[in-house]
Every structure is written in structure tokens, then in C-alpha cells.
Chain A
Amino acid sequence: MLNYILRRLLVMIPTLAAISFLIFFIIELPEGDYISNQISMLRSTGESASIGRLEFLRKEFALDRPFVERYGIWVGFWPGPNGFDGLIQGNWGWSFEYDQPVGEVVGPTLPLTVALNLATILFIYCVAFPIGIYSATHQYSVGDYTFTLIGYLGLATPNFLLALVLMYLANSLFGLTVGGIMEEHYIGEPMSGGKALSIVAHLIVPVIVIGTSGTAAMIRRLRANLLDEIYKQYVTTARSKGMRESKLLVKYPLRVALNPFIADIGNLIPSLVSGSVIVSVVLNLPTVGPVLLGALQSQDQFLAGFILLFVSILTLIGMLVSDVLLGYLDPRIRLGKEGARQ
């Protein structure tokens, strides 16, 4: 197993190289770059005083070089104006818009993004599983129909709308300020018990908002998967041993129906990041989403590139986790053809 994980980690290196190239290529597709845009804007308004400084910045960040060189300098295998200084060397780039290193722009948002994603995934699984199982075992019952209806509502309601409604309700009913990630007086303070609690309290609404559609989709899929399994012969075999229905359900069909969900962990992450942008804007959450949106709009290329790469890494790790879990849970995958030799 350890061998397998190591091999997978090694394979991730070329994968990341390919992804980084694609990201850079796509970000550079629009005409010009952040600084050339600034220059032409200044020219059109007649202010040419600071153009010189911008020209200097263009040189400094090698934006005047050909595409492949720019890419090489960004990643760090091509000497830039300051020698080898790219992602590999730990330089995450410069954000023109914030006029700060990318690390400082993104840094504070990353832990929150990861925490929010993890909490949302947990929420989705914790809510979807019991409901999905109930719906499958009580097919066409009142409960099944109710959950189906709620599920469709959850799928159909835009997330930001739900966010606004919850924000209003929380404020008017409980007097909670939902926006932000913690109560204002904690901002800038060192981590303490109260601060952590405040963060958790503020996470609840965003998690529900972001997780609703995912939960609804997962309930539908778990229900369908379980329904496929419940009527299979091996379940009847187990029943004929005299097992209790509940025990039987968990041991056999649920176990088999689980596979697609474990395989899904890797795919959930990018959709959660990109899907939560609007919600983060509405709820004023300092996650990476709104930063990415701004960076893409203003062609702040190093910032956008870094965030996209970061999401890719999260996805790859998610895939690895799901593959390892699958191998652990499903002997057919673990033993592969080797086992099916007879």
C-alpha cells in the first residue's frame, strides 16, 4: 500500500506540470496582461506620469518575454530577471492588484477555504446518508416523497438566494450577524477558545448553504444506487440466514453502494471552491473564491494561476485519498486481476 501511495505521489508531479502549463496558457489567452492594461488605461486618460514605473514592472516580472519563457519563469525552471525564482523555489508570484506577494494575499484565506470545504463535505455525507438510506428502504413512502421534494427544492434553489434568506432569518430571529467568518472584535486577535467558537458558529450557515445542492444530489444518487443493490441476489442470501433487516442493510448493500461516493471525494473539491464564490461574496467570507474571481477579472495572472494550481493540488490529493480508500474497502480493487486468476 505504501508503495502504491508513493507511486501515486510520483505520478502527481508530471500531472501537476501539465496542469500548470494548461492553467498558464488559459490565463494568458486574453489579449495583454495586467500591466499593459493599466498602461493603455493611463494613456487613454492622458496620465503618462507613472507609465515609466509600470514599464519597469513589466520588465521586472518578465511580462515582455515570449510565452514559453514567461511560463518557465513562473514555474521556476527558466532564469528570470532575478535568476531562478518561481513556484519551485517557493516564490508564489506577485499580485499586481493587491500590490502584495501572492502568498500574503492568499495565505489568510487558505485555511478557511480548506476548513469550509471539509466541513461542507462532512455535512453533505452526514445528512445525505441517513436520508438516502431511508428513501431507498422506504421507496414511494410519504417520507421518501417528502425528502424527494425537499431535495429537488435544494437542487433548484440558487445558493446565494438561500444564503440571503438564511442571513435574514438568522438576523431577525436570533440576532446573529451571519456575514464574515468571526465576530469583528476577534479579527486580528490571536487564536483563543472564544475565537474558535465564533468561527465555528459562523461556519454553520455557509456550510448549509454551500452543501444543500450537493446533499440533494447525493441523496438522489445514494437512493438510486441502494435501490439497485437492495434487490440483488446476495441480499436475499443474507436475508435467508435470518439476519435482522437493519444489520443486513448496513453490512451488504450499503457497503457496495458506497463506492461511487468514495470515488467522488476528489471531484467534490473543485466544484465546492468554484461553486462557493457567489455565496462567499454574499456572506462576506474571506475564502479563496472571491479572490480568484477578482484576479481573473483584472488579469492578475500570477494570483489567478496560483489559486487554480492550489485547487488542482487539492483535487489530486482528494483523488488519491478516494483511490486509497477504495482499495482499502473493495477487495476487488485491492486484489485486482491477481485475485481473479482462478
Chain B
Amino acid sequence: MNLLDVKGLSVEFHGDEGHHQVVRDVSFSVPENKCVALVGESGSGKTVISRAIMGILPAKSRITSGQILFRDNRKTGEKVDIAKLPPAGPAMRAIRGDQIAMIFQEPMVSLSPLHTIGDQISEAAKLHRFVGTKEAQELTKDMLRLVHFPEPERAIRAYPFELSGGLRQRALIAMAMICRPTLLIADEPTTALDVTIQAEILKLIKEVQAELNMTLLMITHDFGVVTNMADEVVVVYNGEIMEKGSVEDLFLTPQHPYLKALLHAVPSLSMEPDERLVPIRPIKPRAHHSDLQPSPVGKAYAFRGTPLIELEGVCKSFTFKNLRGKKRRGMTTALDNVSLTVRRGECLGIVGESGSGKTTAALAMLRAFPLTRGKISYTTEDGPRDIQGFSEKELFQYRKRAQIIFQDPFSSLNPRRTLNEILQEPLVIHRIGDSLSQGARIRELIDLVGLSPRYLRRYPHSFSGGQRQRIGIARALALNPEFLICDEPTSALDVSVQAQILNLLKDLKDELGLTYVFVSHNLAVVDYISDRVAVMCKGKVVEVGPTRQIIDNPIHPYTRALLKAVPEPSLEHKLDFSSLSGTSSSDPTQWPSPYRMRYTTVPYLVEIETDHWVCAPGMESMRDIVGLGGSHI
């Protein structure tokens, strides 16, 4: 029996440039107690479809034709056409929040900052169940318990900003569940979360679905999530359905070229070492072999593999400050005795969850802030230099060697500068060439990242996310750096665009002899682009080694937990929800011996196999017995 039938649904947006059909003649069904996944890129219309079902389409859009038949199981068992109901009317309001509920994509902004969690969760119960405040509070606590919220008694009085992203998402799930809806729509419920938390939330949704007999409509672009959650899949592209069927059929024998292309664009841990992603819309970068080579390029190849940057026992702690700027007792250790080596010509991936210190480690290499302790040396033509000891002038010169590509392509470009000005600025600051040669250089850079010189006079808002990130890459390359830090360059982008950017970065690295530090929380991406990986947790490096060895033979319990939590876009490697260990995997005091770390334990790395190091302080005492290597890489 189908709980929901969408028949010939079309949705239209009317903007300043006339009408625009964003959903065209879409039909699909959601069977009772099943999970249907709606898959597509951003802008494909999948979110619009879900909003239409909820009756919360934006004001500028309307349903032009079609039916959304929802079976009202709770009352009459008859089918209601949601498309015909006025969205703000009492009939629709009675269904919304009660029988159909929704979990939103971004837990950070989906909750009101000024109201307590308890207030916001209990609201739906008060609206639909007509319960009093006391009863609503009890229901809220029950729901929080159901989603494994720690200390529900206290949590109902907590404000969203006091909670982490994972907890907020749990609160959102509890909010959606409180009236025990028959249909739950989850709009990218885990996209903004870390992998281990993503796995837990997925597990949680599955559990709750079984317990409350819910039907699930899941909107996602992540095939890893699809294979682990969905029974049926609907692939949407440009407002139309490309393909639909059971998850097995679609993954084993994809029919439509779009689905095939999409599947090829996603990096996965089970890829062959030399396999290349195929972007849906490939770009053609053209490199001129003129002056765009990094200055010591010949040497870069000659010295390939020699240390470029060495971090020795680097510590960085931040002090919490309250609003009046007074120091608080609270201190957080962002980096705890981090020792790493970046070798010339390699790509070192730094992986970890949010708050693991991975970005801090990368920024330290640019001397973005003073270190608390430790030393970072950068090898120049004159031998290794401590970057902490750089004078103003030397630091200025250092900026030509080391550059960064930022995470968010939307906020990292000045909206009031044209593309030309953005790319020219580094050259102007460093007084390189006259305006003529600068212009020539800008065109080279544009070609290099596969953009057209026609775009030079445009402003950032007229570019897509992928194009903006390419601009960010071009800007970072403007000064001929030899070392690039990529701080989650693809995490804000769609999968199809991600493949494009990753391939571009890969090609540039080979062509220009660059050295990368690639920061990411996505293991599959790091696996695709990196030669070596450093896994970080709570400011400590827990495991370093060649990418393949880390992926195939993870030693550290944290690395294992991390790898286990990655949803693979294949039907053979489903997530083992039952073995998820909960939050303890990222708590160093809970790791088994010899990996366990107390608050005062100094990280100690042991070489397990060639070039593969693991943080195991418990082994320090055994060093002489087993004859393992020292603590430095």
C-alpha cells in the first residue's frame, strides 16, 4: 500500500525574469514502512518536491499541476490531495507536523536561537495533541530519550547554541517525531555532520523508523547514504525524474546515462589506485608552459620526497574569552604535540572530525597565528628555516611560496571585486610585473583552471560554487607557490562538481610540481587525492602513513571507527550499524591500551610498518624490548 502518491507534479517559480518550471511532471510513490530516497544534485528540484509535499513551498512558487495524494491513516484512511489544500489553511496545518514531519538539512540554522530546545520540541505536541505544558514536557523528554539525547531532563532547558551539531540534529529529529508522524521527510539530514555522527544519526533514524512504524522519504545527494538507508530510489535531474526503481536494480544495473555518470563522479574507498573520477561536466584546463612553473620546479622534481615542511612537537591552545574579553579558566588544546612532515611533491591528507585540529594544523604551517610550543621549519633553497623566526619581510616573501584554498567559495571571494581584480590583487601586493604582464598572467591563470577570459569582468555572484572554487584556486596559484593548503575545498560543493575540482587539483599538482596539504573530513576524497594521510583526533595525530596502508590496514581504534562509519556507495559494503561504538571512539581516554591517553599523556608515535606510524603511548615503555622506532617521523 502506498502512503504517498505523487502524480504528475509540476512546480513553477516566478521571479523577475518570468516563470520557471523547477519540477516537471514528477510521479513516484512512497510505499508504507519503506524508505524512498530522492537523489540528485543541488538545483535538481529534489528539495522543492519535498517542500511541496509539506506544503511549505516558498512564496514565489506554486504547484501548477499534479496531485500529491497522502493517505490519512490516522483518521479516515482516505486519500487527501495536498496539492489542492491551501498551504496555510487549517486542513494542511493539521497534517503538517502531525502526520508528515520533516528533518532539515542544517541543524545549525534550523532551530531558533532564542528558544529552548524543550520549547521548540514540545510545540508540535501542544499544537496537535492539545496537551498541557507538563504533559508536553514529559513527551519531549520521552522523545529526547528515544533519540539517545544525553540528560533529557537538563536538555529541555538548553538553548541550541549550547549544543553541538550532532546534538542539534538529534533535537530536530525528536522535534519531527514527537507527534509520531506516519511520513517522515529527511532533507539531507546528515550532510552537515561528521562521518561518525552521520553514521549514528542514520542508525538512529533507522531505529526510530522501525519503532514508530514510519515511512521515510529521504532527500540526499550522497550515494553512500542511499545504499545504506533506502529501499527504493528516485533519481531527479533538472526537475525531472531520470530513473526510479529498487536500490538493488539501480546500483547494479543503472540504465540512465545521468545516473551512470553520477555514480562515476563519486570517490569511494574501494576505488583502484589509478582510477580517475569522471566529472559530469568535465573542464578543459590549458597550461601554458611559460613562466607559470613554480620557481624551483626543476628542483622540486629533483628533490621529490625530501622534507618541505616539518612540524616538531607543535602545540597550540586557545583560551576561552567571555564577552567582555576577560580571560576564562577554560582552555582548549587545538594542537597537542603534533609532529608531521610534508614531503616535496606529495599530497598529505589531514583527516579528522570537526574540532580535531586539522585546519589549525594546516593554518599553523602558514604562520596564521603564533604557536604555544614547538617548531615548524620550511625548507628553502638555503636549507630549513623556522617559520616562527621569520621577520616581517621574510614572512611577506614566504606568502609567495605557500598559499591556501579556502573551504567556502562563497565567502572567500570579495563580492565587490571583479574576477580580474581578484586575480590581480596578489600580483599587485607583491609588485610583480606591470599591468600588461599582469594581464597576461591573469589570462594564463584563467586558462589553467578552465575558465574563459570572457568572465574576467564579472563579479563573483555570477559564478556557480564550482566556478568560484576554481577562481579560488587560480588566485592561490597567482604567485607561483610551491606549497598549497587546501582546506576542505570541496565540502561546500556538489558531488559532480567535487570530481571536477579534485581532478583539477590533481592535474595541477603534477603539472606544476606542487606540494599539497589537503584537509578534509571526507575519507574517500582524501583517499582519492592524497599520497599520505594523517588522521587527527582532539588535536593529536593518531595515525600517519601512506594512504592505501591507512585505508586497508588501519591500526588505531579511532581510524578504524572513522573508516567503519563511512557509508560506501555500494551494496556490498553496507554500514554495520550494530557495531557502531557511539561517541567513545573520539575520546582518547576510552581508547584501549596501548592507545589510551590521559589528559597529560604526551602523544607517542610508533612505526608499525614502513612509514606507517601510530600513536600508542603505551608502547613507549616497550620500545627497547620490541625494538620499535623512536617518537619522531
Say yes or no: A234 contacts B163, CB within 8 Å.
no
Closest to B160 in A: A234
The reply on B229 being an interface residue by CB < 8 A is no
Say yes or no: B162 contacts A340, CB within 8 Å.
yes
Say yes or no: B320 contacts A339, CB within 8 Å.
no
The reply on A185 being an interface residue by CB < 8 A is no
Please encode chain A, from 140 to 182, with 1 for each CB lying within 8 Å of some chain B CB and 0 for all others. 0000000000000000000000000000000000000000000
Complex Cα gap A190–B82 (Å): 69
Complex interface: stretch among B94-102, B254-262, B592-600: B94-102
The reply on B54 being an interface residue by CB < 8 A is yes
| Residues of chain A within 8 A of B95, CB atoms compared | 242
| Residues of chain A within 8 A of B613, CB atoms compared | none
| Residues of chain B within 8 A of A331, CB atoms compared | 113-114, 116, 159, 161
| Residues of chain B within 8 A of A333, CB atoms compared | 323
* Given A234-B112, A237-B110, A240-B101: A338 in contact with B93 (beta carbons within 8 A): no
The reply on A252 being an interface residue by CB < 8 A is yes
Closest to A338 in B: B322
B160 CB to closest chain A CB (Å) equals 9
The reply on A332 being an interface residue by CB < 8 A is yes
Choose from A242, A256, A336, A341 the contact partner of B114 (Cβ within 8 Å).
A256
Complex Cα gap A342–B114 (Å): 17
Say yes or no: B94 contacts A242, CB within 8 Å.
yes
The reply on A53 being an interface residue by CB < 8 A is no
Consensus secondary structure, chain A interface: helix
B73 CB to closest chain A CB (Å) equals 17
| Residues of chain B within 8 A of A245, CB atoms compared | 88
Complex Cα gap A236–B161 (Å): 18
Say yes or no: A252 contacts B93, CB within 8 Å.
no
Say yes or no: B320 contacts A242, CB within 8 Å.
no
Say yes or no: B93 contacts A243, CB within 8 Å.
yes
Say yes or no: A336 contacts B111, CB within 8 Å.
no
Closest to A230 in B: B59
Say yes or no: B162 contacts A335, CB within 8 Å.
yes
Complex Cα gap A330–B323 (Å): 14
| Residues of chain A within 8 A of B94, CB atoms compared | 242
Say yes or no: B113 contacts A233, CB within 8 Å.
no
Interface residues on A, range: 20 to 34
The reply on B212 being an interface residue by CB < 8 A is no
Q: Which residues of chain A in 312-342 are interfacial with respect to chain B, using CB atoms and an 8 Å cutoff?
A: 329-333, 335-342
A137 CB to closest chain B CB (Å) equals 10
Say yes or no: A241 contacts B106, CB within 8 Å.
no
Q: Which residues of chain B in 109-135 are interfacial with respect to chain A, using CB atoms and an 8 Å cutoff?
A: 109-116, 120, 123-124, 127-128
Complex Cα gap A336–B326 (Å): 12
The reply on A65 being an interface residue by CB < 8 A is no
The reply on B311 being an interface residue by CB < 8 A is no
* Given A331-B159, A332-B159: A244 in contact with B111 (beta carbons within 8 A): no
A329 CB to closest chain B CB (Å) equals 7
| Residues of chain B within 8 A of A234, CB atoms compared | 109-113
The reply on B328 being an interface residue by CB < 8 A is yes
Q: Identify which of A234, A252, A256, A339 gathers the most chain B CB atoms within 10 Å of its CB.
A: A234
Choose from B56, B127, B159 the contact partner of A335 (Cβ within 8 Å).
B159
The reply on B457 being an interface residue by CB < 8 A is no
The reply on B473 being an interface residue by CB < 8 A is no
A85 CB to closest chain B CB (Å) equals 38
Say yes or no: A330 contacts B109, CB within 8 Å.
no
The reply on A255 being an interface residue by CB < 8 A is yes
A46 CB to closest chain B CB (Å) equals 63
Closest to A139 in B: B59
Choose from B56, B116, B161 the contact partner of A239 (Cβ within 8 Å).
B56
Choose from B97, B161, B320, B322 the contact partner of A332 (Cβ within 8 Å).
B161
Say yes or no: A342 contacts B104, CB within 8 Å.
no
For this complex, 23 residue pairs linking A to B, each with C-beta atoms less than 8 Å apart, are A238-B112, A238-B120, A240-B54, A241-B101, A242-B92, A242-B96, A242-B98, A242-B127, A244-B88, A245-B88, A252-B115, A255-B114, A256-B112, A256-B113, A256-B114, A329-B114, A331-B159, A332-B159, A335-B162, A338-B322, A338-B328, A339-B159, A340-B161
**Chain A positions near chain B (C-beta within 8 angstroms):** 231-234, 236-245, 251-252, 255-256, 329-333, 335-342
Q: List 6 tightest A-B contacts by C-beta distance, closest first.
A: A242-B97, A241-B97, A241-B124, A242-B96, A242-B93, A233-B109
